[in-house]
């Protein structure tokens, strides 16, 4: 597969400028094949304007057509997985098993949203029929369902070149909602992005949909993202990345004449609480499971366990020793790109000045070493540096001396994607306040597991209070992710034939609806 190197707009590769860049091999830092163009304001305006122009038609297509589009994208991605293994291995340093697994997750979530669309519950149809005889005032016929929000800009993520990038969850959920998508490809994997964009374009053509419902914009520099977020045709933004990047996009969106929502997932330290009895009874097993989670993907998952809060005692001593022994022998890993490796090393150096180095793995040029630092609860609570996320295979062990300190630690946490509790049978019953506090602070609370690995399903929440996410009551993973790109619209006294299909009396979609306060699938009247 060759590279065109231009932007995919209206089903064609085009570029307004000859200025270009190349991707870098994550392991060797050598330049990779392919010259990729930097987007200009003209390129961006055309892509966004096409998204706006095609929105009315795409938002009104039959939901079965949307479902078929999502399934066809999955089919097209599966057809190029062998090529993706090679290119993603170069651009992101990911091994074959990880690429195949992430591709399967990407196609799985596309098919999940096809199921969601067909199921119809995302429409949240509600009908209150007229009550002309009601006293003291009659009630009009009022019906409500969700409607697509409008064109969406999706920013590709560095750490998931498939699942959170061009055809990832943001794109899948936006298309499922009926929203055209303009993707801003991550500059670290432009080749992967182009191949995936081609697959989407083939699916759009196969389904005979307007080509303008999907575009890919390449290039480096913050000006591209700024222009996309500020374009008047864009109505929402999906982003997975750093706190600084997400916050900048939020500020740009808020400063528009018509502010728009930015659904930014911006990182998390994902605290793990080791309760006393769990530590005493299985310290060594916990240590082994923890290091496996910490080093998964070279620690570059947004759910990486970057903070361990544990009760002092013999169990913690055994845990600490076993972790140190494993980490000492741990091999260094390739990070996603040289910039991320440099940032990791800088953050490690900050920790070295404020905490004790418990253990460090083997080191090598252009590789990330595994590290575990330790500190007391008293030092941790007063040191801002030790509350910062370290993006990579590094974690901090905080030793507490009482159940009160465990609770105080939870109270001092910022918003997180996840929090984990390790406990023996019935031990959680002694910590109701801790559980309650964590429920307020995070999007997902786990018991006796580690947070790396986010199941794509109806019940999953991948979000949390700020700064984990910019909008607390949302998720970027699972079927509810579609809700980010919808808005409720009410129709009052409409002729039946002019209503959306979800609200018509005969219920042609055969979906479950809330009719006069009761769930019902049957026709009305």
Would you say the C-alpha torsion 227, 228, 232, 233 has a positive or negative sign? positive
Identified catalytic residue from 71, 91, 265, 360? 265
373-381 LR contacts (CB < 8 Å, sep 24+)? 373/397, 374/320, 374/398, 374/399, 375/399, 377/309, 377/401, 377/405, 377/408, 377/409, 379/354, 379/355, 380/409, 381/408, 381/409, 381/412
Q: Is 145 a catalytic residue?
A: no
Helix and strand counts by DSSP (H, E) for the chain: 14, 21
Backbone φ and ψ of 289, nearest 5°? -65, -40
Identified catalytic residue from 48, 145, 207, 302? 302
**Residue environment code for 18-29, b if the CB has 16+ CB neighbours within 10 A, otherwise e:** eebbebbbbeee
Backbone φ and ψ of 88, nearest 5°? -65, -35
Backbone φ and ψ of 226, nearest 5°? -60, -45
Q: Is 265 a catalytic residue?
A: yes
Q: Which two tokens stand for residue 231?
A: 């374009």
161 in Cβ contact with 194 (< 8 Å): no
Between CA 463 and CA 470 the distance in angstroms is 9
229: three-class secondary structure by DSSP? helix
Residues making up the chain, counted from first to last: 525
Going by their DSSP bridges, the two strands 12-14 and 7-9 should be labelled as antiparallel
In sequence order, which ranges of 18-94 are alpha helices (DSSP H)? 41-59, 63-78, 81-92
DSSP 329-364: TPPPB--SSHHHHHHHHHHHHHHHHHSEEEEE----
Task: Residue 5: name the closest of 52, 43, 42, 48 by CA.
Answer: 43
Going by their DSSP bridges, the two strands 262-265 and 236-240 should be labelled as parallel
Q: Identify the H or E element spanning 175.
A: helix 169-177
- Please list the active-site residues: 265, 302
């Amino acid at each position: 597969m060759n590279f065109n190197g231009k932007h995919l707009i209206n089903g064609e590769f085009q570029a307004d400028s000859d200025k270009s860049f190349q991707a870098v091999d994550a392991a060797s830092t050598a330049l990779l094949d392919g010259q990729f163009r930097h987007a200009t304001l003209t390129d961006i305006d055309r892509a966004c304007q096409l998204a706006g122009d095609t929105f009315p038609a795409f938002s009104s297509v039959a939901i079965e057509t949307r479902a078929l589009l999502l399934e066809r994208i999955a089919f097209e991605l599966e057809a190029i997985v062998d090529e993706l293994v090679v290119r993603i291995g170069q651009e992101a340093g990911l091994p074959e098993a990880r690429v195949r697994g992430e591709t399967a997750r990407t196609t799985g979530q596309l098919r999940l949203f096809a199921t969601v669309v067909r199921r119809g519950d995302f429409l949240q149809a509600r009908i209150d029929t007229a009550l002309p005889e009601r006293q003291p005032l009659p009630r009009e016929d009022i019906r409500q369902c969700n409607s697509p929000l409008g064109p969406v800009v999706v920013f590709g993520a560095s750490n998931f070149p498939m699942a959170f990038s061009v055809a990832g969850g943001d794109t899948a959920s936006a298309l499922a909602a009926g929203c055209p998508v303009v993707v801003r490809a991550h500059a670290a994997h432009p080749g992967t992005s182009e191949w995936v964009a081609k697959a989407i374009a083939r699916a759009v053509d196969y389904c005979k949909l307007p080509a303008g419902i999907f575009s890919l914009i390449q290039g480096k520099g913050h000006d591209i993202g700024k222009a996309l977020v500020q374009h008047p045709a864009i109505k929402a933004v999906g982003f997975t990345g750093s706190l600084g990047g997400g916050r900048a996009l939020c500020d740009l969106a808020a400063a528009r004449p018509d502010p728009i929502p930015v659904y930014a997932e911006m990182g998390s330290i994902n605290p793990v609480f080791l309760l006393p009895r769990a530590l005493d009874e299985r310290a060594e097993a916990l240590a082994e499971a923890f290091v496996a989670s910490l080093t998964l993907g070279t620690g570059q998952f947004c759910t990486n366990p970057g903070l361990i809060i544990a009760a002092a005692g013999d169990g913690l001593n055994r845990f600490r020793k076993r972790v140190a022994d494993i980490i000492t022998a741990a091999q260094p890993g390739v990070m996603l790109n040289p910039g991320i490796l440099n940032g990791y090393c800088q953050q490690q150096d900050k920790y070295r000045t404020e905490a004790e180095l418990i253990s460090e793995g083997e080191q090598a040029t252009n590789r990330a070493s595994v590290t575990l630092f330790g500190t007391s609860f008293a030092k941790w609570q007063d040191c801002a540096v030790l509350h910062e996320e370290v993006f990579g295979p590094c974690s901090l062990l905080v030793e507490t001396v009482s159940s009160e300190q465990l609770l105080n630690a939870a109270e001092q946490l910022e918003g997180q994607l996840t929090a984990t509790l390790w406990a023996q049978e019935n031990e959680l019953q002694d910590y109701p306040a801790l559980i309650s506090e964590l429920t307020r602070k995070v999007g997902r609370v786990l018991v006796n597991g580690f947070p790396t690995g986010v199941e794509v399903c109806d019940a999953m929440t991948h979000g949390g209070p700020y700064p984990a996410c910019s909008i607390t009551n949302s998720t970027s993973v699972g079927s509810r992710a579609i809700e980010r790109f919808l808005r409720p619209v009410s129709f009052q006294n409409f002729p039946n034939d002019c209503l959306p299909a979800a609200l018509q009396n005969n219920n042609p979609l055969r979906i479950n609806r809330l009719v006069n306060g009761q769930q019902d699938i049957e026709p009305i009247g």
